[in-house]
Amino acid sequence: MTAIRPSLSPIASALLALLCAGTAHAAPVQVKVTVENLAPSNSIAFAPLRIGFHGGTFDAFNIGEAATAPIISVAEGGSGADWFPAFMAADPTATVGSVLPTPAGPLLPGASGTATFTVDTAVNPYFTFASMVVPSNDFFIGNDDPMAYRLFDAQGNLAISTILQRSRDVWDAGSEIHDPAAAAFVGTNNLRADQNSVVAFNFAEIAAFNGLTTGPGYVFDSQLQANSDIYRISFEVAPVPEPETYAMMGIGLGLLGVARLRRRTAR
């Protein structure tokens, strides 16, 4: 007996085509963000990473200009208390959040942390980040140019899998006087004093904390050179089926089941 191939109606074929197309080109994705402290043992640590996936409009700071409240909240306390509201005011459709260390607390040398975010790649292809560097009064890492990191290309493909920070990438917010006695992680924060300077690169002053005992109990030893790797941000992406995709998937599977039943009956 000649095998009878199952045939789908034009409507069923169209639905299955839409299913395939929707699965292949869905804009929303799940982005797993992993952070790692690459600094030597007993060297610098980091506050939780504050991040945003956005359309390219939020500019947190500019080199050579006075730091404003958004980046100061990160640089002096690591909290992002002003950074997040400013981000959302500049770009209301942005996806923002934090990547926390595991275990909770400062991201110590050798430690890592992860977090996952749902991102619409068509709306928010750019990535911005900021984290306080400790010990310090107001040092941080972050991107000056809001369009420095286009994470996704026009087709929604991941264009950048890793962002690496070196010692020379450490910023000084210029908002607080450099004073080890008043520095976070090794001093008393309520002794801080305003500096009223401007944002600039500065990692050399970190060595001034050498020999001081940190909050976690180790004796600080910078060991950093300009090209020392200190921080890595990595990205992994998985698709997120949209609700209508689930519906089409159910219809498509049902139609395939009907076709198989017809084939068995024909035999």
Return the bridge partners of 96, or none.
Answer: 52
Task: Name 7's Cβ contacts closer than 8 Å, sequence gap at least 6.
Answer: 259
SS3 11: helix
Query: For residue 27, what pLDDT is reported?
Result: 79
Distance CA 74, CA 168 (A): 19
First to last CA, the chain: 8
Query: For residue 14, what pLDDT is reported?
Result: 44
Q: Which amino acid is at 157?
A: N
Enumerate residue ranges in the chain where pLDDT < 50.
1-8, 10-24, 26, 245-249, 251, 253, 255-256, 258-261, 265
How is the chain split into domains, by residue range? 1-26+242-267, 28-240
Query: For residue 102, what pLDDT is reported?
Result: 86
Query: For residue 59, what pLDDT is reported?
Result: 96
- E strand or H helix at 264: helix 243-266
CATH architecture assigned to 28-240: Sandwich (2.60)
Query: For residue 190, what pLDDT is reported?
Result: 76
SS3 136: strand
Backbone angles phi, psi at 95, to 5 degrees: -110, 115
Query: For residue 189, what pLDDT is reported?
Result: 74
Distance CA 209, CA 191 (A): 16
